[in-house]
Structures are given as structure tokens and as C-alpha cells.
């Protein structure tokens, strides 16, 4: 790659950019992406309806992160910023950021300041394909820009009945919304969706997740899905992540490997063990406590190998130093750990609280990316268990010089 890049700016003048200045430009866009994740985006309905959402561009399929959970307006799945970073759409009518239509283009403003033109994620006919059970693909699965898809097989969480929900989570609030009428996806539906996704180039990775369910039921379901996919495709391995709870018997983790899953995710959510008890009472009581969750992640890394196990910490619910301590410990053990941007979701016990400032999350993402680099993880390792680009992915790739000119190209899973 050349050490400098010649560009024409908005005034028509040629500008020389060095690789260092391009990196700073991309990091500025990452900071914007994080700010959008925190603040959300507003819009006028009349403008939004001009953008071809639901026809030319993919509509949002899950609304749990929005300020308003139910709406008759089709919202965009997300959009690309000018230098290639992707923002998964989050609607907040109070946001200082606003999407406006300008000469047929979607333009992002902050107040009266024009921030950037954006491009929505293109729609594919796959989302409208009907399964033999009558549901459309998008009622069963969610597509991602990286050529992957995710299935939330259950929109229930049994912790609600016990009064032990994780305080940051609103899965039980969103479960009854009209767009989520398929409460349990059968293994047959998941297998059929997998075949459809594979034919359309979106089966490079499957993320299979769900609400908190009894351990035995969870294991049986995941094994049934694996059998269904292998029978339909003839594959011996499923390139995908089984998102599971920490089993009381750690040997259960071996069953997921034997079933053919290439990776697992065991999300600890909080590294500080005392805050974990307060924020995740059900995980504390039902899965052997904080130490057992840590032991499960470490054991899984031994079974699946380095880079094939993921965990997640909800960024902003504990001191930054605690989060980084956990991420470095797990990286040393061979597990990739991320820190999602905590949003005080509508319907969660922490609704109305505030997440840390953008600069806090920006600094955290950069430090996590640096840890992953220090412990020898690759870009493929990062996508291997989180199949869509979050801030840590972006920071890791920017630091690694994966840009083409002044853009960070879309990362794609190889088609199977």
C-alpha cells in the first residue's frame, strides 16, 4: 500500500493523506459509530419512507435496542458510514443525530451540522423466502453484512419467573411484541433456514442463541439443531457458535464439540464478582456462581482451542480496569472476550440509567483490541465467535492496517 493517498476534498482541491492520517480518520469514524450507538438516531417518518427500507434496503428485524420498541414504520437494519464502518441502527427520537433526505440521499445531521452521507445495507430476496412451515426466513433468522446470520431460537428467559433477570436485559419485555411471534424456532426450521442461507451466501457463520433455559433442555436443543444441519448438508462440522450457559458439569461442553459446532460462547457479562452477584442474580444462583462461569470459559478454550471461545462483558456496568482485567485473563487462556456498549434498555431494570460517555467506550475498545493483538489473536478469530463488526473489531482492523485507501472494507466469511 502506498505511504500516501491523494484525494480530492469537498472543495475540489487535491489532498495528500499519510497512512497515519488515514488511521486517525478511521478512528474518528469509529468514535462517531460509538457515539451513534449511545445516542441513537432520530428521523422524520416522511424522510425515512423515501429511502426504500424494506424494498431496496434491509429492514430492522429486532427492535430491543430502540427507545421505542414497537412501531409501524420500517426501520433500517443499519448503515455504512463514509469510511466503511457499519452502524447497526438504534432509534431514539431524542437523539441529536437525525437522518434526513437530501436530493435522494440519506444524510446524517447532528443538530444543523451535516455529518455524513450514509448507505444502507442492501436487501436480499432471502429474507422473504418461505420455509415449509410458512414462516419467512427473517422470522427465523437475522442477516449480517459479513455473510453470516443469527438465530435467536427462544425469546423467553426462564429467569423472569424466578425474579432473577439480569438487570441490564429486556428480552422478556420484547418477547411479546408483534414482530416476534415465533417464540420457539424448531431445529427443523433452523436447519431449513441454514440451507437457504447457504444457497444465498449467508451461511459463512451461524450464531445460535436464546434466552436462559434449563440446562438439559438447552443441550438437547443444540444437539438436535446440529443433527438437523448435518443431515441436510452432509457437513461434519458447523461453522458457527453455540451461545450457551455455563453447564454445572463442565464435561457437557465436550458434547457441543462432538456435535460439530466450531465454537461456543459463554457470556460472563460482569468481571467483578460482587457486581456480578448484584447485576446477574440468576446466573449467580443457577450456574454455580461467578467462579464457575470463569472455569467454564477456560475449560471451553481447552476443548475448542484458542480463538474458538467467546465471552462478553457489558461495558459500562463496572470500572474499566475490572473489565480489562477480565479480558486480559481470558485472552491469556485462549478465549476472545468483548465489551458490548451497555444501553439502559427500555423494559430492563436499569432503564433510565446512563451509560458512560463516548470517550470512555472509545478508549475501552482500543485497549481491548490492543490486548487481543498482544495475545496473538487474528481478525478471523475475532469474527469467529462474534459474526458482525463491533467497535473492537473495527479498532483491531484499523490498528492492523486493513484499510484500503481511506476505507475499511467489509469483512466477509468465506462461502461454504
SS (H, E, C) 46-98: HHHCCCCECCCECECCCCCCCCCCCCCCCCECEEECCCCCEEECCECCCCCEE
- Give the percent of the chain with pLDDT over 70: 92
Highest mean pLDDT among 128-142, 178-192, 273-287, 295-309: 295-309
CA-to-CA distance for 306 and 381, rounded, in angstroms?
A: 8
The confidence band for 283, taking pLDDT boundaries of 50, 70 and 90, is confident
CA-to-CA distance for 117 and 398, rounded, in angstroms?
A: 21
Q: Name the residue among 255, 266, 276, 272 with its Cα closest to residue 301.
A: 266
Alpha carbon of 47 to those of 61, 63, 78, 79, 108: distances in Å? 20, 20, 16, 15, 12
CA-to-CA distance for 197 and 133, rounded, in angstroms?
A: 16
The confidence band for 6, taking pLDDT boundaries of 50, 70 and 90, is low
Kindly report the backbone phi and psi dihedral angles of residue 135, in degrees, each rounded to the nearest multiple of 5, phi listed first. -80, 155
CA-to-CA distance for 72 and 81, rounded, in angstroms?
A: 26
Asked whether residue 189 carries a pLDDT value surpassing 50, the answer given is yes
Asked whether residue 5 carries a pLDDT value surpassing 80, the answer given is no
Query: Any idea where the domains of the chain sit in the sequence?
Result: 42-120, 125-399
CA-to-CA distance for 60 and 43, rounded, in angstroms?
A: 15
Asked whether residue 1 carries a pLDDT value surpassing 50, the answer given is no
Question: 125-399: CATH homologous superfamily?
Answer: Aldolase class I (3.20.20.70)
Alpha carbon of 296 to those of 60, 311, 338: distances in Å? 34, 10, 17
CA-to-CA distance for 396 and 403, rounded, in angstroms?
A: 11
Q: Name the residue among 384, 392, 391 with its Cα closest to residue 205.
A: 384
Q: What is the pLDDT of residues 268-280, one digit of tens each?
A: 999 999 999 999 9
Least confident of 201-205, 209-213, 280-284, 350-354: 209-213
Amino acid at each position: 500500500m502506498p505511504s500516501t493517498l491523494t484525494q480530492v476534498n469537498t472543495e475540489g482541491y487535491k489532498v495528500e493523506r499519510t497512512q497515519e492520517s488515514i488511521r486517525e480518520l478511521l478512528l474518528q469514524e469509529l468514535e462517531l459509530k460509538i457515539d451513534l450507538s449511545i445516542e441513537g438516531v432520530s428521523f422524520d417518518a416522511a424522510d425515512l419512507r423515501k429511502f426504500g427500507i424494506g424494498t431496496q434496503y434491509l429492514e430492522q428485524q429486532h427492535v430491543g435496542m430502540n427507545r421505542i420498541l414497537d412501531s409501524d414504520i420500517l426501520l433500517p437494519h443499519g448503515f455504512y458510514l463514509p469510511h466503511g464502518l457499519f452502524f447497526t441502527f438504534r432509534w431514539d427520537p431524542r437523539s441529536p443525530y437525525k437522518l434526513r433526505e437530501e436530493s435522494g440521499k440519506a444524510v446524517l445531521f447532528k443538530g444543523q451540522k451535516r455529518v455524513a452521507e450514509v448507505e444502507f445495507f442492501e436487501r436480499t430476496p432471502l429474507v422473504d423466502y418461505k420455509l415449509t412451515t410458512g414462516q419467512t426466513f427473517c422470522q427465523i433468522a437475522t442477516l449480517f453484512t459479513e455473510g453470516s446470520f443469527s438465530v435467536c431460537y427462544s425469546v423467553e428467559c426462564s429467569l423472569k419467573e424466578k425474579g432473577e433477570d439480569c438487570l441490564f436485559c429486556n428480552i422478556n419485555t420484547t418477547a411479546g411484541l408483534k414482530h416476534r411471534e415465533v417464540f420457539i424456532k424448531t431445529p427443523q426450521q433452523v436447519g431449513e433456514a441454514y440451507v437457504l442461507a447457504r444457497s444465498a451466501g449467508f451461511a459463512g457463520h451461524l450464531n445460535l442463541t436464546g434466552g436462559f433455559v434449563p440446562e438439559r433442555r438447552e443441550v438437547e436443543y443444540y444437539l438436535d439443531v446440529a443433527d438437523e444441519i448435518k443431515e441436510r448438508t452432509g457437513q461434519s462440522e458447523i461453522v458457527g457458535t453455540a451461545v450457551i450457559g455455563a453447564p454445572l458439569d463442565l464435561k457437557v461442553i465436550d458434547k457441543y464439540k462432538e456435535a460439530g459446532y466450531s465454537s461456543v460462547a459463554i457470556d460472563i457479562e460482569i468481571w467483578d464478582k460482587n457486581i456480578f452477584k448484584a447485576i446477574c442474580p440468576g446466573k449467580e444462583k443457577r450456574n454455580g456462581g461467578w467462579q464457575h462461569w470463569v472455569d467454564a470459559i477456560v475449560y471451553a478454550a481447552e476443548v475448542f482451542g484458542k480463538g474458538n471461545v467467546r465471552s462478553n462483558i457489558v461495558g459500562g456496568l463496572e470500572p474499566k480496569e475490572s473489565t480489562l482485567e477480565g479480558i486480559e485473563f481470558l485472552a491469556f487462556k485462549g478465549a476472545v472476550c468483548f465489551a458490548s456498549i451497555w444501553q439502559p434498555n427500555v423494559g430492563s431494570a436499569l432503564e433510565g440509567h446512563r451509560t458512560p460517555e463516548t470517550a470512555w467506550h472509545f478508549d475501552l475498545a482500543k485497549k481491548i483490541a490492543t490486548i487481543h493483538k498482544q495475545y496473538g489473536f487474528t481478525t478471523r478469530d475475532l469474527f469467529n465467535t462474534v459474526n458482525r463488526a463491533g467497535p473492537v473489531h473495527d479498532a483491531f482492523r484499523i490498528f492492523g492496517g486493513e484499510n484500503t485507501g481511506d476505507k475499511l472494507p467489509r469483512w466477509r466469511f468465506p462461502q461454504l
